[in-house]
Amino acid sequence: MGASGAPGVTPEPWSGDSLLPHGLSFAGHGDLLWLHVAADAVTALAYFMIPMTLVYFQRRRQTALSFSWAISLFAAFILLCGTSYVLGIITIWSPIYWAQGWLKLLTALVSIATAAAILPLVPRLLAMRTPEELETANQQLAQANARLEETNHQLQTEMAAREVAERELRRSLADLNRAVAELEQFAYIASHDLQAPLRNIAGFVQLLERRYRERLEGDGLEFLDFIGQGVRQMKALIEDLLALSRVGRGAEARLELKPLAGTIDEALKPLSAQLASSRAEIVRGELPEVLAEHRLLTQLFQNLIGNALKFQKPGSQPRIEIGCTAEGERWHLVIADNGIGIPPTQLEAVFAIFRRLHPQDEYEGSGIGLAICRKIAVHHGGELYASSEGEGRGSQFHLLLPQRPQLREVRLGAADPNIGAA
């Protein structure tokens, strides 16, 4: 290099051409030459630091990025850019323009590949949250976790309270079932044991009537009749109580598939005298074969038809209609009559045990018949309820029986606290 600062080099041929280092352009301007050299050197250093930083970042990151390949491609592009600046410095003194050109071409190709790789990543990069957004999201997540923990605590508290309530309910149900069983056993034993003294009373009443009736007059005869009537009522009451307590006791339970018409015929036999005297009309629809304990169904129909004959206005002709339809997996039987009817407010009350809507001297009965009917229905897994348009408009009793019943033991009052009869 001469005094002016221009490099003292001799042009060297390259591929048949005589090329000169471009430092000759700075002849006589050394300060300008070193300005370009310093600027290119610092730029190259900066370019080299960027890929080094990216490589360091990738190596130190614990989890790999899904676009690490794009970062590597970008680092190669930056490294080539820095190398081109280094060659720019070299060409000041040495005309290696071919090497510089090929490097620029390689840099251009890598730059195009980098641009093509980075452009599809722009939407993903735009979707990335800022630190402030991440902080806000973390705060919201923390609040949500706090609410979730509070909800879990409340849920655990409710579950604990529910478990306590369920334990209390199970204990109460066990106590209730035990009390009901004891009550039913008491009713059975009491009814059974009352029969013996009642038979004695009935026997002595008959002796009094046979031996001393002619000696009694006026009030004596009336009192004797009252005693006989009371004995008969007590006997009927005890027999109904025993019948009620026996329903659902599994020893005699037996399911049979039999025509329902035959079961109704059996129920009508004990009522033949009443049917004849009242000139009652029995109208039947088409009745299917029913899988049931027909011994109990006979008792049920006998009670319902007997009630329909009994609860009539004086002088009226009873008309009883019996029909059956299939509803899903159940039979829906309806026993409708043209009797005195039931007030709408008493449709459930008539099933209460010992509940009577009329005085004994107006319509006789023990008040247990419908209790037996409902208990038989529940024993088959079915239902029994009443409907009526009001007094004097007749009543309908609806019996719902499953087509595939599963008999179960039914304790007095277990199915319904108001279970009973009118």
Residue 43 in domain = yes
Taking residues 114-129, report their average pLDDT.
Answer: 72
- pLDDT greater at residue 299 or residue 58: 299
Question: Would you call 174 exposed, middle or buried from its count of C-beta atoms within 10 A (0-12, 13-18, 19+)?
Answer: exposed
Percent of the chain with pLDDT over 70: 74
Q: Is 295 helix (H, G, I), strand (E, B) or coil?
A: helix
Q: Would 365 be classed as within a structural domain?
A: yes
| Structural Rg of the chain based on CA atoms | 53
> Does the pLDDT value for residue 213 go beyond 70?
yes
**Domain assignment of residue 160, yes or no:** no
For residue 127 the two structure tokens come to: 């979707």
pLDDT of residue 166: 87
With 60 as the cut, is the pLDDT of residue 422 above it? no
pLDDT tens, residue by residue, 394-407 = 899 999 999 887 66
Q: Is residue 148 part of a domain?
A: no
Residue 291 phi/psi, 5° resolution? -85, 110
Checking if the pLDDT of 4 tops 70, the result is no
Q: What is the model's pLDDT at position 243?
A: 63
Q: Which domain holds residue 343?
A: 256-402
Q: Give the β-pairing of 383-387 and 395-402.
A: antiparallel
Q: Does the CA dihedral 217-222-225-227 come out positive or negative?
A: negative
**168-199 confidence digits (pLDDT tens):** 888 887 776 676 666 666 666 666 666 677 77
Lowest mean pLDDT among 88-97, 148-157, 236-245, 333-342: 236-245
For residue 40, tell me if it sits in a domain: yes
* The domain boundary residue, chosen from 80, 99, 124: 124
Q: What's residue 3's pLDDT?
A: 37
- Mean per-residue pLDDT for 2-27? 57
CA atoms of 249 and 89, how far apart (whole Å) = 112
Q: Measured in whole angstroms, how far is the alpha carbon of residue 96 from the centre of its chain? A: 84
Nearest-angstrom CA–CA distance, 82 and 414? 94
Least confident stretch, 22-26, 129-133, 268-272: 129-133
> What's residue 183's pLDDT?
62
Per-residue pLDDT of 62-110, as tens digits, reads: 566 666 667 777 788 888 888 888 888 888 888 888 888 888 888 888 8
Amino acid identity of residue 285, one-letter, is G
pLDDT for res 301: 92
Q: What domain count does the chain have?
A: 2
Give the model's pLDDT for residue 322: 92
Residue 218 included in any domain: no
> Is 362 inside any structural domain?
yes
Residues sharing a CB contact under 8 Å with residue 355, sequence separation 6 or more, in sequence order: 349, 367, 420, 421, 422
Q: Is pLDDT at 127 greater than 90 in this prediction?
A: no
Say if residue 411's pLDDT is above 60: no
pLDDT of residue 180: 61
Q: Write out pLDDT tens, residues 261-319.
A: 999 999 898 888 888 888 888 999 889 998 888 888 988 998 899 888 888 888 788 89
Res 41: pLDDT: 87
Coil vs helix vs strand at 401? strand
Residues 38, 41, 43, 45: what is their CA dihedral angle, to the nearest 10 degrees? -140
CA distance between the termini of the chain: 134
pLDDT tens profile 139-163: 888 888 888 888 888 988 888 888 8
C-alpha–C-alpha distance, residues 145 and 133, integer Å: 18
3-state SS string for 33-99? HHHHHHHHHHHHHHHHHHHHHHHHHHHHCCCCCCCHHHHHHHHHHHHHHHHHHHHHHHHHHCCCHHH
Asked if the structure places residue 188 within a domain, the reply is no
57 is written with which tokens?
């970042």
C-alpha dihedral, 51 to 55 to 61 to 67, nearest 10°: 70
Q: What is the CATH number of the domain that holds 332?
A: 3.30.565.10
Look at residue 112 in the predicted model and tell me its pLDDT: 82
The residue from 100, 124, 148 where one domain ends is 124
Domain boundary among 83, 102, 124: 124
Query: How much is the pLDDT for 410?
Result: 47
Beta-bridge mates of residue 290: 258
Q: Which residue has the higher pLDDT, 256 or 359?
A: 256
- Give the pLDDT mean for 317-344: 89
The overall average pLDDT reported for the chain is 77
Give residue 278's pLDDT: 87
